[in-house]
Structure 1
Amino acid sequence: MPPPGTGLFVDPEFPACVSSLVGAGDSPLPPLCERITWRRPQEICAAPRLFPEDNRDALGAQGILGDCWFICACSALQKSPALLQHVFPAGQYTWEDQGYTGRFTCRFWRFGRWVDVTIDDRLPCLGHKLCFSHCQDHGAFWLPLLEKAYAKLHGSYEALWAGQVVDALVDLTGGLVERWSLELANESFKEEIICRMLDLKEHCAMSCSVHKREGSGDLGQFHAFTITDIQQGFTKDGQSLLLFRVHNPWGRSCWEGSWGQSGDNWALMDQVESSRFLTQIQDGEFWVEKAEFFREFHEVTLAFPVVKKLCIQSIWTGSLLSYTQQINGSWINGQNAGGSRNNVSFPENPKFWLRVRMQSEVYLTLMQRPRDKIGSSNNSSRTLQHGTSNHTTGTAIGLHIWKVKNRHFNLQKTILTTPVVGTSSHSYDRQLQLRCELSPGYHLLIPSTFLRDIEGDFLLRVLSSGPITLSEVSSNKPLEQESEDKMPGVWETLEFKGQWKKSNRNAGGSRNFPSYHLNPRFSFRVSTNTEVVKITLCQHNQENACHAIGFHVYLVLVDGSLPLFSQEPCASCVPHSHTLEVCKICHLAPGQYVVVPSTYLPDQECKFSIFISTKTERKPIKSEETLGQILKEVSVISLMK
């Protein structure tokens, strides 16, 4: 092994200087920078290693950086050897290896793909001690190296000052994460939460958070903890107890409740039983009884198990979510940023087809792209070093899903019905998640922002137990509008297919010929709130062999008769033109109409399509969607002495 600093890798993209420590300078970290030095692990301890022998000694402690949310999420890697080997690839040379170079690579899942981040192993210290995260075993360095790579991904250590466990879990697992509000849970759901946690404690990373000062106040505010175990115990008189073992990233106990290390309630157990619990806790851990747990903590965050080949397993059914589809999209002001269902412009949002092939358990996630574009294809030092702090708040996003009979449907009528599943409140979260059981067929997915005209990029991802297909609904080109047409509305289009054939005696030609009445006819209705009608006739022919085409529109009389020759057309698209498509925009009074397409000359054969688009005033959607709360988990402890 080379002496420290001799011929070892030095990362030019994330140097050992102040720019890697702080970015915007909006945290308590900047005043400490002058005291921070950078040291390699062999300069910190005599025998550094990547992982401890005992997995329990890999528990993380926080240091002076407010990234409790990230440290809690790292417990997911301890639950899945396959995931740990993917995030921290095996085969890297460490300090005891002959090929050690001081270079390490970690992987993070960012906006739909895994991103490699390479760093050197120079770590921030105060004196000769790590000043940020460290393991329970001070000779193990996987956690501070992973933290450094995550800081590089975000642009600086300061960017990790505040965040959410759910975001870090997604970045580390590439999977699904659920959050359960303990404040809003009724007794039935609390029991369901307990059952889920007991079943999954060996396989899932579990975290609990405090959002405000309530109860004892010992646990701090906006602080995240790791749930390391759940066990059943018994009092001397045989009463059953359920105790949660909780780890504080501060690395010291902060709980002085009745089941704290010196709490009174241990006397309720016999000495053997109480000793069994107390001997299990390490620095920073404490036991909390079930009633205290629901009283003191406000939220539980749980990552879905990641099994072999990084397949995600449902926490509700145990099914493998083997089928995954994802697609990128954008909200663009003036085009498709329609806002929430509170807005009449909601149908303008991007729309997607989800085809489900068989009855399936389906999870849908909508992720908004971080504003710093981290994880983009241009993984340059500029991108990495100028990332935005996690204090940056995204926009509020939502997602709704409707079942439709087929891909030809009435959009306005569909969105006025109740969705199969949807967000009850638009959320500022980076990623929202929905779970549902979907039957075979087509489903319409509409992601939205809360306010209209808000721009942003997003990733729509679907994971399913059965085969699925995800695709974007093709957006029609903007329909021509006359200058006086200023009222917001919705275009609804009918499509008719037809054919002029001599053998069918329906190729009647134009009104110049007595056979005109033989031409095909297509009926449509104009309602009382219709503003404008656009009729388009397309011939399916080679461009160099076009017939001259046109059409006339007639009002159907009250008795249903259609005397074509005694009535002038209400609208016409003439003269006939040698072109693939002709179009006419017109205002028509309410009533029943017929459009008659024709070629100029009789007996000319061709297939054609007619599109009749009516623009109506959009009906208001009965929806009162709300905004969610912005939460960031952050904590800071006293400086190391």
Structure 2
Amino acid sequence: MGCAPSSDTGTQYASLGHHGNTNVSRKTKTPTDSQLYGNTNKSRKSSTSSSSSDGSSKSKEENQPNNVHPVPPPPVKLTENDKKQQQERKVITPPPPDPVPTPKEKEEAPPVLPPLPVVEKEERQPSPVPSPTPIEQEQERQPSPKPPPPPQDDNDMRNPTDEDQQQVPPTPQQEEEKQITPPPPQEEQKQKTPSAPPMPIPPDMNDETRNGGETIKPGKDNVDFDDTGNMETPAPPDFGRSEYIATDVGTKERFIDFRTEGGEFTNPSRPSPNDNGLYTEFEFTVDVAVPSASGLQWQRPAEICQNPALFTDGTTRFDIGQGRVGTCWFLSMVANIADKPRLLERVVPARDYKIGTNDYDGVFHCRFWRFGHWSEIYIDDKLPTSGRGGLYGAHSNTDPNEMWVALLEKAFARMYGSYDEVSGGRTADAFMNLTAGVGEAIKFETMKMSSQQLFRRLKNAFQSPTTMVGCVCPQKSDGQHGLVGGHAYSMNGTYQVGDNMLVRIRNPWGRQEWNGPWSDGSNEMSQYGGSIPHPNKDDGEFYMDVNHFLKYFEQCTICNLTPDVDRDGTADTLNYVTSLFGNWRRGKAGGFQSKLQNPQFCVTVSDQEADRDGNVPVVVQIVQKTSDRQDDKVGIRVDFYKVLHEDSDILVLDELGDKNNMYLIDFSSCYRFNVKPGKYVAVPSTMDSCDKDPRVLKEFLIRFFTAGPLTNPFEIQDSTTVMTGKGPDLEVDGSVLQLGCSQCITGKFVSGRNAGGQISCRDTFATNPQFFITINEPQSVKVEVMQPDQKNGFPIGIKLFETDRSSFQSDYNWFAQNYNNAVRDMSGNDGPFSYGSSVDCGYKLQPGTYVLLIHANGPEDQNDFAVAIYSERPVEIESSNL
């Protein structure tokens, strides 16, 4: 998701000056009362906005409505009084108190009126949404569109029991990035009706030390994310260490390298200044940086404003102002980490930018997480400007002298090649670049939650100090109630006022807000605005009822440092991150059709954090390495298997979540599982083989998020025979029954010994492998026969006979006489006979003794095999002719 550019954004920042202290510690900015609440005694003046199509560039992919780029309107022309207010925004001590109390006063002052009741019960229904406007009525008269296919988002982490993906093999879905023509200039808006002074804020509900109306829980391992002390420089992956290493954000990491080729992870050193004492990167010219625009020039911060500084009086989300580049998807996440000093310090080390000191060398240094490690990025601090000196890209929305937003956006563009390359994207990708965390997209058209359940999940999520939420407004909502279509917003809180469930959203433009119910100056805000913080401030931040949010937005992405396995909104304690690096290569890039001809990695899951049923949460993420952000992505996925049986040179695996793991053409894809402790195998694959698409010959990363350390990770060698089955799930009377007991037996069809072929082979049929089964009580049983996944496989048949004998059958005549009386499976057939790497059938069996016989096509067929017998309760099995 991205958004495009304002024509003159940043012009006013060249003429305004405010001294920036480069030595100020990064603390939370204290906004003035007018910043928090606006002027409640005056109606706001409106402005005439215009936009330009200059500089907007078409992406090479143009099919995904989620990745389009609207144009922010040009900046509001400031009056002399406005300029004075803008310069005063960053003072730490607020001006003399207004009739409205400051946040600290709100916490201590007794409320004038009793607070509205807070509804906490899940089953209680919200109050009716305000009557629709004529625009909404017109929309509702339109025929509702057909629901789209099941969500196939890279961050929509799949649960093996999900029912929204049923096609096998899946079709790769590409999340494409697109730009649109800038909208026409906006007409002057009517002045908003002056709002009444807000009601006092109940301190137990909306204390400013809280996030989203809820007390923030301690961070991971009690990490204080407001504290930037005792932070270490992230080191490249150390493949020589077998133990987990603690990080500054409470996770523990281990790195293992299984690549057969690929360089070491090294970071560049700080570049030296040029002859003039300032560093310049001559290769990254302004034409290379912004190929879609003309008439731009590089200027250093001192040429743009009077007193440039990296930070002035700390950082907040209100610093972020988008320019003429479609990076709203990136800036919405930057706004989120701006309120989390520890996370921001890891990205932008404050002491490394020397402007304003004798050590200033023109170098800006930051870090982005990319393909498993923190990449050190060094750029010169020249920024693209228009002919009038205004910043072309992002800027600080609170102080024209503050440079960190503009420099960070340039560094991000430099990492990927140009500003055009980062125009359009997805918030989950930006979150991963900024934090190394994981995001999960929730698409509203296909989600199975009610509005109350979504609100509860968001509310829970904001209890974590590292939660970040991005949301997407689709193109169809463009212009409706002030919303910008094809645009990424950030969400930073949830609040409940009576029966009304509210979400707080911010436009990274720093202006142009929702003007429907609960907006600044609305009747709802006039009546109840005192029950929520920061009402009536024209800064791009606004409130919406969750039902309107669901109507006008199309998805939200919940991001955290570790995944939310149970989808309750709260990040789970999966603090152990195990990173396996590998590569697809010839002979190990078989694509979907030959899935086991891909690299395979075995790990052991401990019982740490097992639930009452003995299940352990595991999230598996695959990340592909790309050389080009737009064009080098291929369809990827990772499959997860339970080791059912293990011999010295044989592995038999049960596949987990086969119908839910979709191939996604994106940087990464995540899948969640609840498993029993034991050994498991991860198989990363691409949709196409290397013979069909040579681009798949690339490096990949598999990350396991677990509650405890994984042990004994290794790559399975080619000498090991691997067979896979569908596992213990059995469909019974329209529902899926998971059979709790399993036994696995391996063998090999050998010509002249036990390769008996079909019933027509009179001399050999009775020599086929047989299994004598004793059933002591009625139950469902599943039989699955597997063979190695190879092109030279043959059909496999299964026959089950009831017998009153206590031994195996060796008489062909007995089989011939009883052949037509074979036990019928649940489909009414007498047993399957078909091609495939696995063949299975289910039975409802009464107490008794049975002979199970498996066979190939003819006596000459030779291959390894495995027989898995799943049952509700233990059964007795003997085998013969293996």
Shorter-chain TM-score range: 0.5 to 0.7
Match of 1:526 among 738, 745, 755: 755
Kept in 1, the 8 Å contact 2:638–2:661? The answer is no
Q: CA deviation at 1:167?
A: 0.9
Aligned pairs for 1:133-212 within 5 A: 133-137=394-398, 138-188=400-450, 190-201=451-462, 202-212=465-475
* Matched AA of 1:230: T
Q: CA deviation at 1:246?
A: 1.4
Q: 1:438 to 1:76 in 2, by over 3 A?
A: farther
Kept in 2, the 8 Å contact 1:305–1:313? The answer is no
Q: Which moved more, 1:257-266 or 1:85-94?
A: 257-266
Structure 2 counterpart of 1:605: none
Q: 1:164 to 1:557 in 2, by over 3 A?
A: closer
Match of 1:476 among 695, 710, 719: 719
Q: 1:273 to 1:170 in 2, by over 3 A?
A: closer
Encode CA deviations 1:211-258: one digit per residue, 9 max, x unaligned: 34148645333311011332233xxxxx43222221112332142323
- Stretches of structure 2 that go unaligned for 5 or more consecutive residues are 1-20, 22-272, 611-615, 723-744, 759-763, 770-791, 798-807, 809-833, 841-882
Aligned partners of 1:204, 1:273: CA distance in 2, in Å?
A: 23
Structure 2 counterpart of 1:464: 706
Structure 1 counterpart of 2:495: 231
* Matched AA of 1:297: F
Structure 2 counterpart of 1:433: 670
Q: 1:141 to 1:6 in 2, by over 3 A?
A: farther
Aligned partners of 1:346, 1:242: CA distance in 2, in Å?
A: 46
Aligned partners of 1:328, 1:420: CA distance in 2, in Å?
A: 23
- Hey, which of these two has a bigger chunk of strand by percent? 1
Structure 2 counterpart of 1:532: none
Aligned partners of 1:559, 1:300: CA distance in 2, in Å?
A: 57
Match of 1:287 among 523, 540, 543: 543
Q: State the TM-score, normalized to the length of structure 2.
A: 0.47
- Residue 550 of structure 2 aligns to a residue in which SS? helix
Structure 1 counterpart of 2:617: 361
Q: 1:463 to 1:48 in 2, by over 3 A?
A: same
Match of 1:444 among 661, 676, 681: 681
Structure 2 counterpart of 1:25: none
Structure 2 counterpart of 1:632: none
Q: CA deviation at 1:122?
A: 0.9
Structure 1 counterpart of 2:40: none
Kept in 1, the 8 Å contact 2:472–2:556? The answer is yes
Kept in 2, the 8 Å contact 1:216–1:296? The answer is no
Aligned partners of 2:354, 2:403: CA distance in 1, in Å?
A: 10
Question: Could you say what the CA RMSD is over the residues aligned between the two structures, in angstroms?
Answer: 4.2
Q: CA deviation at 1:462?
A: 0.9
- Stretches of structure 1 that go unaligned for 5 or more consecutive residues are 23-29, 234-238, 373-387, 480-491, 496-520, 530-554, 561-584, 593-615, 623-641
- Residue 213 of structure 1 aligns to a residue in which SS? helix
Match of 2:599 among 350, 355, 366: 350
Aligned partners of 2:709, 2:751: CA distance in 1, in Å?
A: 39
Aligned partners of 2:585, 2:549: CA distance in 1, in Å?
A: 45
Q: CA deviation at 1:194?
A: 2.1
- Residue 18 of structure 1 aligns to a residue in which SS? helix
Structure 2 counterpart of 1:39: 299
Aligned pairs for 1:504-583 within 5 A: 525-526=754-755, 528=757
Aligned partners of 1:228, 1:395: CA distance in 2, in Å?
A: 33
Q: CA deviation at 1:119?
A: 0.8
Q: 1:522 to 1:250 in 2, by over 3 A?
A: same
Aligned partners of 1:526, 1:412: CA distance in 2, in Å?
A: 22
2:633 equivalent to 1:394: yes
Aligned partners of 1:411, 1:423: CA distance in 2, in Å?
A: 27
Aligned partners of 2:756, 2:652: CA distance in 1, in Å?
A: 15
- Residue 280 of structure 2 aligns to a residue in which SS? coil
Q: 1:297 to 1:329 in 2, by over 3 A?
A: same
Aligned partners of 2:573, 2:345: CA distance in 1, in Å?
A: 20
Q: State the TM-score, normalized to the length of structure 1.
A: 0.64
Encode CA deviations 1:416-442: one digit per residue, 9 max, x unaligned: x55157744322221111223332111
Kept in 1, the 8 Å contact 2:385–2:391? The answer is yes
Structure 2 counterpart of 1:339: 591
* Matched AA of 1:103: V
Structure 2 counterpart of 1:61: 321
Aligned partners of 1:284, 1:90: CA distance in 2, in Å?
A: 26
Match of 1:80 among 340, 345, 350: 340
Aligned partners of 2:454, 2:715: CA distance in 1, in Å?
A: 36
Q: Which moved more, 1:57-66 or 1:470-479?
A: 470-479
Q: CA deviation at 1:413?
A: 6.9
Match of 2:554 among 298, 302, 307: 298
Match of 2:535 among 265, 270, 278: 278
Q: CA deviation at 1:181?
A: 1.5
* Matched AA of 1:324: V
Q: CA deviation at 1:16?
A: 4.0
Q: 1:42 to 1:191 in 2, by over 3 A?
A: same
Encode CA deviations 1:147-184: one digit per residue, 9 max, x unaligned: 11111111111111111111111111112222212222
- Paired residues in the alignment total 467
- Residue 95 of structure 1 aligns to a residue in which SS? coil
Q: CA deviation at 1:299?
A: 1.3
Q: 1:265 to 1:471 in 2, by over 3 A?
A: same
Structure 2 counterpart of 1:247: 506
2:518 equivalent to 1:259: yes
Aligned partners of 2:674, 2:493: CA distance in 1, in Å?
A: 31
